[in-house]
Amino acid sequence: MITMIILWFTLKPQIFTGWVELFPYAKMIKPTVPAMAITFLLFIIPKNPRSPSTSPPLLTWEEANEKAQWGIAILIGGGMCLAEASKESGLSSILVENLKSLEVLPTALTALILCFAASMFTEITSNTAVSSILLPVVCEMAVALQVHPLYLALPVTIGCSFSFMLPAATPPNAIVFGLAKLKILDMAKPGFIMNTICVLVEVAMIHALGFPIFGLTTYPSWADHPKSGSGAVANTTLVPRLDSSH
């Protein structure tokens, strides 16, 4: 363990040249390499160094296979594959395009639905992928609605981290799911309640604290600047839209 930690710290330190630079394919060596190297050594080093020919190794495959949490590894890997598949197949783009129909709703309701959608999307893909897909559309919707982009972008970004329902959503979820031997519904039911509570609190806080702290009542000139291509536009003071009319 100590050797592995030392290899990690000396992999690519900023204060001196790391050992990885000694190899021709340094860019291909990741932090997983020391961990796998030490693991392989455990299968080779004998328990009794005095009789290496007859002594079993420190770790046998039977012990590793019995104690390893293969289900957790498959869940995490499956979640990553699902996230990549949703992007490559165009499923993420289809879902985002359907969200554009929310522009006709009141802004408060739009923010609530977008946050809840973000918390649902992040159950099947990574929060980084969800935020990178949703945020450009959310900012376009904010410009179309003439509301401050942060009014929608902030809660949606935070909502991308509300992944409490499915084991494949995050590695911690998968670890708890595997070790506790839970069923999907055992995690989905309380997770849905947690998602709902977090979204409601988040939207309430963006109205209670976001408006005075970030000045969300004012439509900023920089929001229209990429579209206008000309000089700055004067800031416009806004009141949150409570009905569907513009």
* 152-188 tens-digit pLDDT: 999 999 998 898 998 878 878 888 887 888 888 988 9
Question: Dihedrals φ, ψ of 125, to 5°?
Answer: -150, 170
Judge whether 242 lies within some domain: no
20 and 47: one domain?
Answer: yes
Report if pTM > 0.85: no
Number of structural domains the chain divides into: 2
Same-domain check for residues 154 and 230? yes
pLDDT of residue 242: 41
Residues 8 and 101 occupy one common structural domain: no
Which DSSP string corresponds to 125-146? S-HHHHHHHHHHHHHHHHHHHT
> 42 CB contacts (<8 Å, ≥6 apart)?
57, 58, 59
**DSSP strands (E only) in the chain:** 218-219, 236-237
195, pLDDT greater than 90: yes
- pLDDT of amino acid 57: 87
Mean pLDDT, range 62-67, rounded to an integer: 80
Rg from Cα positions in the chain: 25
In terms of residue numbers, what domain contains 189?
A: 70-237
Q: Tell me the pLDDT tens digit for each residue of 67-81.
A: 777 776 776 677 677
- Say whether both 215 and 230 belong to one domain: yes
pLDDT of residue 83: 66
Shared domain check, 96 and 52: no
pLDDT digits (tens, 9 = 90+) for 14-40: 788 888 888 888 788 888 888 888 888
The pLDDT of 76-90, averaged and rounded, is 72
Residue 92 has pLDDT above 80, yes or no: no
* 155 and 35 together in one domain: no
Q: Is 163 in the same domain as 227?
A: yes
206 within domain boundaries: yes
Indicate if 22 and 134 belong to the same structural domain: no
Has residue 246 been placed in a domain?
no
Q: Which of 29, 47, 67 is the last residue of a domain?
A: 67
Q: Which two tokens stand for residue 42?
A: 């455990």
Predicted confidence band of residue 230 (pLDDT cuts 50, 70, 90): very low
Domain presence at residue 23: yes
Looking at the fold, whether 84 and 56 belong to one and the same domain comes out as no
Q: 70 Cβ partners below 8 Å, 6+ apart? A: none
Q: Confirm whether 203 is domain-assigned.
A: yes
CA distances from 66 to 60, 62, 152, 180 (A): 10, 6, 48, 16
pLDDT at 205 over 90: yes
Q: Same structural domain for residues 191 and 117?
A: yes
How would residue 226 be classed by pLDDT, with cut points 50, 70 and 90?
low
For residue 243, is it within any domain? no
Q: Work out the angle between the directed axes of helices 127-145 and 107-121 (0-180°, nearest 10).
A: 170
Whether residue 13 has pLDDT greater than 80: yes
Residue 237 above 60 pLDDT? Answer: no
Distance, in Å, from the CA atom of 182 to the CA atom of 139, rounded to the nearest integer, reads 39
Residue 190 binned pLDDT confidence (cut-offs 50, 70, 90)? very high
